[in-house]
C-alpha cells in the first residue's frame, strides 16, 4: 500500500504554496533502478511498446507511399466519443446506421488495436494515408483518454450481438481491441493513458477523466459474459477476469495513505513507484476528488468485495465526508470570470485537488505554480478548468446503502 507522510504545513491564505514537478516517463534508466528481479518484465513491456510504436508509424508511412499521399489527410474531430451511441434499443444495432458507424470504427482502429480520441465516427471510413488522430501530429494514437477505445469496443459488441455470425470483421476488431487492452496493462496492473507509450505524463497510471475506471468496467462486463458480451469465448473471459483482478490490485495499491490512514487517489500515479504524479502544468500531485469518486463508485459495484476493497471504500467515504465544502459556489462573476463566492445553503462541493498531508484545497497555474486560493490563479486557468465538483456527492449517497450491505 502506498504510504505518504504528512506534507507541507499550512501557510497563509492566498499564497503560492509550491511548484508542480514534471512527470517522469517510463524509461530503461528508470527500470534499471528497480530491484533486479523486477527489471525483466518491465523491460519486456517497454520493448513491446517501442516495437509497436514503430510498427504503427511504419504502417501509415507505407500507406502514404503506396497510395502517393503527399499531404497527410486529417479526419474530422468531435468531442470525446460523441456519435457512438451506447443507449439505443438492442435491435437498433442491427440496422444500417449502426452498421455504417461500425464500419467507420473498424477502419480507424490502429495497427496496435486501439483508437485515438476525439474522432468523429459518423462521417466516413478511413482512407489509405489518413491519420488515425484528428491532428497533424502523432498524439494519442491509441488511448483510453476521453472515452476512447472502450467506447468503440462496447459499440462493436452491441453490433456483433445484434447481427449474429455474419460479421467476421467486427469480431476480429473486437478481439484486437481486447488484446490491445491486455498488451497495454502494466506489470503492476495499471494502464497508461496512451499506448504504445507516448512519454511524459501519458505514461502514468491514469485515473484522469476516468480512463482506467472505464477499462476496469469494460473488463468486468466482458468477464461476466452477459448481454452483448455473451458471444465472448470462455477463454477470453477468463483472461479478462485475470486482467481485471490485477487492475483492482493496482487501484488498492495506489490509494494514498497519510499518517497510517487511507484517503483517496491522485489523477495519475507514477508507473513504477505508484506515487502521485503530475500531468499538465496546472495538474499537480494531489488527492483528486472527482477521479477518486469514479474509483469508489466502481469499487462499490463489485459483487463480492474482499476486506481490502471494503476498507478502501470506507476510508475514501470518510475522506469525502471530511473534505466537503458548503455555503460556497464556483461561478461566473461579471467582469472577473469564475470565482469562489459565498453562497449560503449551497453544497456540498469538493475542490478538484487537495494537498496531500493537509487536505487543504490547492490550485495550479500554467507556470506550474501551486496556489491555495482559486481566486489568485490566472484568469485563463480560472475559467478553463473545473476546480470544484460535486461528484463525490453520488458516492456518499450510494455509500449510505452500501455500508449497510457490507458491515
pLDDT for 334: 83
pLDDT at residue 14 in the model: 65
Q: Please state the φ and ψ torsions of residue 122, each to the nearest 5 degrees.
A: -110, -5
φ, ψ of residue 279 in degrees (nearest 5): -130, -110
Pull the grid cell for residue 268.
495519475
Q: What's the mean pLDDT when you consider all of the chain?
A: 94
114 has pLDDT over 70: yes
Cα separation, 208 vs 215, in Å, equals 12
Phi, psi of 18, deg, nearest 5: 175, 180
Residue burial 28-42, b: 16+ Cβ < 10 Å; e: rest = eebbeeeeeeeeeeb
Pairing of strands 369-371, 363-364: antiparallel
pLDDT above 90 as % of the chain: 89
> Pairing state of beta strands 388-389 and 261-262?
unpaired
Report residue 9's pLDDT band, with 50, 70 and 90 as the boundaries: very low
What's the gap between Cα 153 and its chain centre? 16
In Å, how far from its chain's centre is CA 6?
27
Residue reference for cell 472502450: 150
| Mean pLDDT for the stretch of residues 190-210 | 97
Q: Choose between 81 and 370: higher pLDDT.
A: 370
- Residues in the chain, how many? 407
pLDDT over 70 for what percent of the chain? 96
Q: For position 35, what pLDDT does the model report?
A: 96
3-4 and 257-258 strand pairing = parallel
Question: Residue 2: is its pLDDT beyond 70?
Answer: no
Residue 374 confidence (pLDDT): 92
Residue 309's pLDDT is what? Answer: 98
pLDDT at 12: 43
Which pLDDT score, from 0 to 100, does residue 164 have? 81
Phi, psi of 132 (to 5 degrees): -85, -5
In degrees and rounded to multiples of 5, residue 350 shows phi and psi of: -130, 140
> Is the per-residue pLDDT at 336 higher than 50?
yes
Mean pLDDT in residue range 347-360: 96
Whether the CB-CB separation of 142 and 195 falls below 8 Å is answered with yes
pLDDT of 251 reads 98
* Short-list 145, 146, 143, 144, CA closest to 132: 143
The mean pLDDT value for 133-139 works out to 90
Please determine, for residue 99, whether its predicted confidence score (pLDDT) is greater than 50.
Answer: yes
pLDDT at 337: 80
Mean pLDDT computed over 90-97:
95
| Cα separation, 121 vs 116, whole angstroms | 11
Contact (CB, 8 A) for 287 and 2: no
Element (H, E) at 51: helix 36-66
Query: What does pTM read for this prediction?
Result: 0.94
Residue 112, preceding peptide bond in cis (omega within 30° of 0): no
Residue pLDDT, tens place only, 294-303: 999 999 999 9
Q: What band does 10 get if pLDDT is binned at 50, 70 and 90?
A: very low
What separation in angstroms does the CA of 5 have from each of 127, 256, 313, 359, 363?
54, 10, 21, 13, 21
- Cell triple for 132: 488515425
The residue with greater pLDDT, 47 or 335, is 47
Q: Would you state the pLDDT for residue 13?
A: 54
The larger pLDDT score, comparing residue 71 to residue 12, is at: 71
Does pLDDT of 277 surpass 90? yes
For the annotated catalytic residues, the residue numbers are: 146, 280
The average pLDDT across 112-129 equals: 96
pLDDT at residue 1, as a whole number:
53
Amino acid at each position: 500500500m502506498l504510504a505518504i507522510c504528512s506534507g507541507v504545513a499550512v501557510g497563509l491564505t492566498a499564497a503560492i504554496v509550491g511548484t508542480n514537478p514534471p512527470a517522469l516517463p517510463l524509461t530503461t534508466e528508470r527500470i534499471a533502478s528497480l530491484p533486479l528481479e523486477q527489471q525483466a518484465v518491465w523491460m519486456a513491456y517497454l520493448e513491446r511498446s517501442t516495437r509497436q510504436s514503430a510498427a504503427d508509424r511504419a504502417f501509415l508511412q507505407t500507406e502514404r507511399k503506396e497510395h502517393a499521399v503527399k499531404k497527410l489527410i486529417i479526419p474530422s474531430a468531435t468531442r470525446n466519443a460523441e456519435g457512438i451511441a451506447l443507449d439505443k434499443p438492442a435491435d437498433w444495432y442491427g440496422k444500417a446506421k449502426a452498421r455504417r458507424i461500425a464500419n467507420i470504427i473498424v477502419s480507424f482502429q490502429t495497427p496496435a488495436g486501439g483508437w485515438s480520441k476525439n474522432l468523429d465516427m459518423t462521417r466516413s471510413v478511413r482512407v489509405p494515408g489518413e491519420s488515425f488522430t484528428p491532428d497533424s501530429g502523432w498524439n494519442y494514437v491509441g488511448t483510453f483518454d476521453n472515452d476512447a477505445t472502450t467506447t468503440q469496443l462496447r459499440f462493436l459488441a452491441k453490433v456483433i450481438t445484434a447481427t449474429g455470425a455474419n460479421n467476421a470483421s467486427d469480431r476480429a476488431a473486437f478481439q484486437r481491441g481486447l488484446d490491445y487492452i491486455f498488451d497495454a496493462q502494466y506489470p503492476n496492473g495499471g494502464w497508461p493513458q496512451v499506448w504504445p507509450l507516448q512519454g511524459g505524463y501519458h505514461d502514468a497510471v491514469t485515473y484522469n477523466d476516468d480512463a482506467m475506471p472505464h477499462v476496469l468496467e469494460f473488463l468486468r462486463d466482458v468477464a461476466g459474459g452477459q448481454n452483448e458480451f455473451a458471444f465472448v469465448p470462455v477463454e477470453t473471459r477468463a483472461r479478462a477476469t485475470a486482467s481485471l483482478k490485477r487492475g483492482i490490485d493496482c487501484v488498492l495499491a495506489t490509494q494514498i495513505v497519510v499518517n497510517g490512514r487511507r484517503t483517496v487517489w491522485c489523477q495519475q500515479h507514477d508507473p513504477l513507484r505508484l506515487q502521485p504524479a503530475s500531468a499538465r502544468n496546472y495538474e499537480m500531485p494531489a488527492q483528486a476528488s472527482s477521479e477518486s469518486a469514479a474509483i469508489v463508485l466502481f469499487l462499490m459495484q463489485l459483487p463480492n468485495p474482499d476486506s481490502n476493497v471494503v476498507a478502501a471504500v470506507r476510508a475514501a467515504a470518510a475522506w469525502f465526508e471530511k473534505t466537503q465544502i458548503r455555503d460556497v459556489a464556483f461561478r461566473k462573476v461579471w467582469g472577473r470570470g469564475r470565482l469562489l463566492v459565498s453562497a449560503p445553503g449551497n453544497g456540498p462541493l469538493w475542490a478538484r485537488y487537495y494537498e496531500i498531508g493537509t487536505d487543504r484545497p490547492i490550485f495550479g497555474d500554467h507556470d506550474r505554480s501551486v496556489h491555495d486560493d482559486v481566486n489568485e490563479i490566472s484568469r485563463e486557468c480560472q475559467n478553463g478548468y473545473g476546480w470544484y465538483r460535486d461528484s463525490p456527492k453520488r458516492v456518499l449517497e450510494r455509500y449510505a446503502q452500501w455500508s449497510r450491505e457490507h458491515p
